[in-house]
Structure formats: structure tokens, C-alpha cells
Amino acid sequence: MSRYVPVGIPVGIGFICAYMEKHDIRCRVLDEEVETITADRVREALAGMPKPHVIGIGCLTAHVARAYQIAHMIKAEIPDTIITVGGIHPTALPDEPLDQGVIDYVVRGEGEEIMLQLYRALHGDDESHDIRGVSFRKDGINCHNPDAPLFPDLDQIPAFPYHLFENPKYDMGFLTTSRGCPYRCSFCSQRMMTGTTYRFKSNDAIVDELETLVERYGQREIIFYDDNFCIKARRVIDLCDKIIERGLHTKVELAVQTRADNLVLQGGDEVVKRMSEAGFTHASLGMETGVQRLMDLTLKDETIDIHIEAVALCRRHGLGVSLGMIYGLPTETSQDRKDGFKIIEDLKIKSTKFNNLIPYPGTPLYTDLVNSGRLNIQKDWSNFNSTLALTRSVFDKTPLPYVPETASEWELKRDIIYYNLRAYLSFRTVMSLLNHTRSMGWVALPKRWYLNPAEIVEMAIVGSQVLINVLWAALPFRLTEPVMNWLNPELKKRPRIKAYKPDEHKSSDWDKAATREKTKMLKSAREEYTQTGAISLKAGQKFDAGQSPEHTVGGAQS
């Protein structure tokens, strides 16, 4: 099924390359999403590059085992290379890659400036072991330097180097305009990399990059990959004005990822209307659950009602909406999952993804659950895949990384398969897929796929797996559960533990009441801004309305 998921460009590596090229350091990129990395391909890529050769490997948790395999292969075949790894997983667990014995440095956090300093030190006389944000092994001991500061000015990073990724397999329709998120969702791992400080590029630089994608690369659908696009309303309005001034709004359809409360309370009709006029046609909201109790538990500090209001707001101005859902949250029951899908049905959402929960290393959720007895971490982390339940056969023995005490392994997998298929087998969704409509969707077929025999065969294979999954998931649970337990005794219901509760340092009386009071408070703040041009949430404290009130009232956890 992954064949029909657009291949995303490795954004983090791309920005590091852009920054290195700005300082006259040549870069070449190999990506296993589009080719198999072999020793010969590495030698070919290193040909003509200055020594010592420095290789940077970026990896996510689900692919970390392959990253380590590549590192071992390179050290064995080209022993004089210097190997670094970076990304969310090495940042969270820097000892793990160092213990492989073949990795020289771990780059923690945002990598642009760290990699530049490290490269210069390795090619000069500077001491590489003094660089902040670097971990290394010395005399058999793992050493971790203090964290590096966040990159202060995103305009100092050049435009994304699309020229390094001109492989036709890539989906080049993306753009990143900001970094950071001030919110504290307990399952989110991204803030380890980008921090809680919200930083953004200048709108002129953003529109220049957008124009390159449209005019040079012919992109007609572009997704803004920001963690949270609508935090600053004034920035969004000004960006829309510049898009219209360049005439790009008639040439491209734009989509964003954002929070529902930002869209409603800091955006409102004025912002969403202007977005629609500027060519924005779609918004993706991370609702995660349709049960307020579970939303509170994940520390999202949002409400179900604000998501319903955000959907209505988008539709008033012609924007389509997709919702991201996470199934398998602590204390979640099958009825909770059913209630969540009911909201999706009632809202008539055309595009929804139901992923299984992944307690990624470095998140508060992982910290809470790692000693619970309910995490099932495979040796190579290969089961830390948010689409595991959906993309594998129902008879696959790979365990989900986490199953709440209120569900069995098969019960959770079955619900994820069942509700995804109910969402995606609607007439509107199937027609969008066949018409190659990608905007914020999960899958897309190649254009003119019906003229390619190989594509038809591949679709038949995928279709047969989907059909088996559909039929098995549609059978009564009381019939399939005993069969699944017999086939996979190791995946039986995990032992019960005491009811999940976030650690006290992330929970307080304010937390319990936050989602009930937040909407009132922010609406009041917005009304005050409308009248005075400033917001005051505490006596004597004033700030620009473009700033999120979360900076004042919210916590600082991911």
C-alpha cells in the first residue's frame, strides 16, 4: 500500500544541505525512499568530495534499524568516513546510536548550525568535541555536550534546495514557513527538534519559494508543512496578500496543517476568508479523538466543540477539511472509538486518517508509559509505525507498540481497520482517489494508472489484502477474537495496570479545568483585541494579538 503514498522529501536533511551550500560546502543526498543505499552508491556519491568524508544519516524511530545497518555497512566498506546521525530518535536517545560502535557523532536538535560547525572542525583545527548539541564517544564513555540554541532567524537558512531532490518519485508539493509550537500535547515528539518558541520566515521569502515551486517545478497542489500554520493571524493575512499580489492564487491550490482553536479564535472569518481568496482550499486539523475525556488526558487544551466550529468556519469559506485521529489512547474503549467515528460521520468529513498511537521516545507519553508493562518495543523499533494496524495484513504478527488496558491487541487493530475502511470506502473518497486528488489526502494513484499493466497488477494485490482485511474486520468481534488469540498467543490482552494518569508535573487543577475555560478566555481576549488592538490576560501584561495567548496561559510540554 505504501506504493500509493506520495514519497515525501527528507525535509530536515534538505535544510541542512541548503545551509551547508550557503557556506560553499557541497552536499549530495541518498534516500532509501527512492533507491537502495549500497556501498557502491555511497562511494559514487563521495567521489570528488573533500576528505575526511562526513556522512550524515537522518532517521525516524520506525527506520532506525535500517539507519544503523547502513552505518555498519559504510564503516566496514569505507572505514575512513566520519558518520553522524541526527533526527528525532537520536535526539531523544543519543546513547543508542553511539553504542552501535560505528557512529562517530550524534547531532541533537536542529542540525543546520551544528553540522556546519562540526564539518568545519573536522576539516580544520577546531575541537569537534566542544560543539554544543553534539554527542560522541570518548575513551569508551558516551559524552553529551549541552544542547545547542534554536536557530534564531529562519531567513538565514536559504530556500529549500529542491534541485537536490528532482527525482520523479518525490512529491515536491510542500513548503515549510515556520518552526516551533507553544502547545504541550503529550504524544508529540516534534518539539524536541523545533522547541516551543514559534519562529517563521519572512513572507517575502515564503512567496519567492512558492513561486519557484509553481513556475519552475509546475506544482499545482502545495501543502504547508508547518506544525501549526495559523498561530499568528497578522502573518497569515499578510502572506495571503502577497500571494495574491504575485498572481499565484490562480495557479495553485494550497493546504495547511493547523489547530482548530487557532483557526477559530485567532483566525476567525477574516483570516479564513482571506486564505480562501489566496488559493487555500484545504485545512488539516489534528483532532486526535472525539472524546473530551481523552482530549484532556493528552493535554491538547482544546475541546471537541472548537473542532466542530472550525469545520463550519472552513466550509463557510469554501475550504475542505480533513481530520487526523489517534486510536489506542490510554483508557480508551471501543465505545470511545465508535463515538469518535460518529462525530466524523456527523460532520461529513471526506478525508480522515485513523492511526494507532505511538508513544515516541522523548515525549511525556513515553515517559509515563515506559515502565507500565504495556509498551511492546521490538528490538529494532520497527513496530513504532503509526499506520501499522492499517497497512499490514490482519494476520501479521507484529505487535502494536502500545495497547491500552481497556482493549486487546486484535480489538484495537480491528477498530482501526474498520473505521479507516468505512471512512475511505465512501463514494466521494473513492472518486477523489481515482481522480488523483491529493490535497491533504493520505493516498493518491499515479496519473493514467489504468494504462499501466504493472500498476493494475499492483492494485489487484493491494486490493486483495484490503478485501481480506475488510471481510475479517467486518465479522462479529466475538467470533474473530478467539481465532486471533489462537493464531497469535503472544498478542493476547496485556496485563492490566492501574488507570493511566499523566505524571504530576504535567497535571494540575488548572489542567483539569483548562479545556472547559479556555474557549471562554480566548474568545474574551479576541473580543478585547477587536476593540483595543491588544490582549491582556493578566494585569499589566499586554501583547500583540498575533502572539498566541498560549504563551501566557499554556504549559510548555509537547
- Check residues 428 and 352 and name the one with the higher pLDDT: 352
Task: Report whether CATH 3.30.160.60 matches the domain 154-491.
Answer: no
| Residue range 158-175: mean pLDDT, rounded | 91
User: Domain coordinates of the chain in residue numbers?
Assistant: 2-144, 154-491
Q: Which pLDDT belongs to residue 531?
A: 43
Do 415 and 340 form a contact (C-beta atoms < 8 A)? no
Mean pLDDT of the chain: 83
Does pLDDT of 450 surpass 90? no
| Residue range 75-94: mean pLDDT, rounded | 96
pLDDT digits (tens, 9 = 90+) for 356-391: 999 999 999 999 998 888 889 988 898 999 888 887
Provide the CATH topology of domain 2-144. Answer: Rossmann fold (3.40.50)
Residue 136 backbone dihedrals phi, psi, to 5 degrees: -155, 170
Rounded-to-5 percentages of helix, strand, coil across the chain: 45, 15, 40
Residue among 535, 539, 538, 516 at smallest CA distance from 527: 535
Residue type, 72: H
CA distances from 476 to 244, 480, 489, 546 (A): 54, 7, 20, 51
Strand partners, 142: 137
Residue among 89, 91, 116 at smallest CA distance from 18: 116
Does pLDDT of 453 surpass 80? no
CA distance 499 to 374: 12
Do 60 and 89 form a contact (C-beta atoms < 8 A)? yes
| Residue range 407-416: mean pLDDT, rounded | 90
Place of cell 493578566: 538
Does pLDDT of 175 surpass 70? yes
Q: Where are the beta strands (DSSP E) in 328-472?
A: 351-356
Least confident range of 32-36, 406-410, 428-432: 428-432
| Residue range 22-42: mean pLDDT, rounded | 94
- Check residues 293 and 2 and name the one with the higher pLDDT: 293
Does pLDDT of 499 surpass 80? no
Do 235 and 242 form a contact (C-beta atoms < 8 A)? no
Does pLDDT of 502 surpass 60? no
| Residue range 516-537: mean pLDDT, rounded | 42
DSSP string across 176-201: --EE------TT--THHHH-SS-EE-
Q: How confident is the model at residue 483 (pLDDT cuts 50, 70, 90)?
A: confident
CA distance 504 to 431: 48
Q: Which pLDDT belongs to residue 437?
A: 47
Q: How confident is the model at residue 488 (pLDDT cuts 50, 70, 90)?
A: confident
Least confident range of 9-13, 53-57, 234-238: 9-13
CA-based torsion, 426, 428, 429, 432: positive or negative:
positive
52 upstream amide cis, omega within 30 of 0:
yes
Does pLDDT of 534 surpass 70? no
CA distance 299 to 551: 15
pLDDT above 70 as % of the chain: 80
Residue among 332, 288, 61 at smallest CA distance from 187: 288
CA distance 130 to 145: 7
- Check residues 335 and 484 and name the one with the higher pLDDT: 335
Does pLDDT of 267 surpass 90? no
Does pLDDT of 541 surpass 50? no
Residue 256, helix vs strand vs coil: strand
Residue among 279, 298, 278 at smallest CA distance from 287: 298
pLDDT above 90 as % of the chain: 59
Question: What is the end-to-end Cα distance of the chain in Å, rounded?
Answer: 31
Q: How confident is the model at residue 113 (pLDDT cuts 50, 70, 90)?
A: very high
Q: Which pLDDT belongs to residue 421?
A: 83
Encode 171-189: b = buried (16+ Cβ within 10 Å), e = exposed.
bbbbbbbbbbbbbbbbbbb
pLDDT digits (tens, 9 = 90+) for 177-209: 999 889 999 999 988 888 888 999 999 999 999
Tell me the CB-side half-sphere exposure of residue 54, using CA atoms within 13 A: 22
| Residue range 329-347: mean pLDDT, rounded | 95
CA distance 438 to 435: 9
| Residue range 307-314: mean pLDDT, rounded | 97
Do 419 and 354 form a contact (C-beta atoms < 8 A)? yes
Q: How confident is the model at residue 477 (pLDDT cuts 50, 70, 90)?
A: confident
3-state SS string for 474-539: HCCHHHHHHHHHHHCHHHCCCCCCCCCCCCHHHCCHHHHHHHHHHHHHHHHHHHHHHHHCCEEEEC
Residue 164 C-alpha from the chain's centroid? 22
Q: Which pLDDT belongs to residue 439?
A: 44
Place of cell 569537534: 128
Does pLDDT of 238 surpass 70? yes
Tell me the CB-side half-sphere exposure of residue 242, using CA atoms within 13 A: 16
Q: Which pLDDT belongs to residue 3?
A: 53
Residue 209, helix vs strand vs coil: helix
Does pLDDT of 433 surpass 90? no
Q: Which pLDDT belongs to residue 468?
A: 82
Assessment of whether the complete model's pTM goes beyond 0.95: no
Q: How confident is the model at residue 549 (pLDDT cuts 50, 70, 90)?
A: very low
Q: Count of CB atoms within 10 A of residue 197's CB?
A: 15
- Check residues 339 and 551 and name the one with the higher pLDDT: 339
CA-based torsion, 52, 53, 59, 63: positive or negative:
negative
* DSSP category for residue 402: B
Q: Which pLDDT belongs to residue 539?
A: 29
- The grid cell for 255 is 493546504
Q: How confident is the model at residue 492 (pLDDT cuts 50, 70, 90)?
A: low
Residue 56, helix vs strand vs coil: strand
Q: Which pLDDT belongs to residue 465?
A: 74
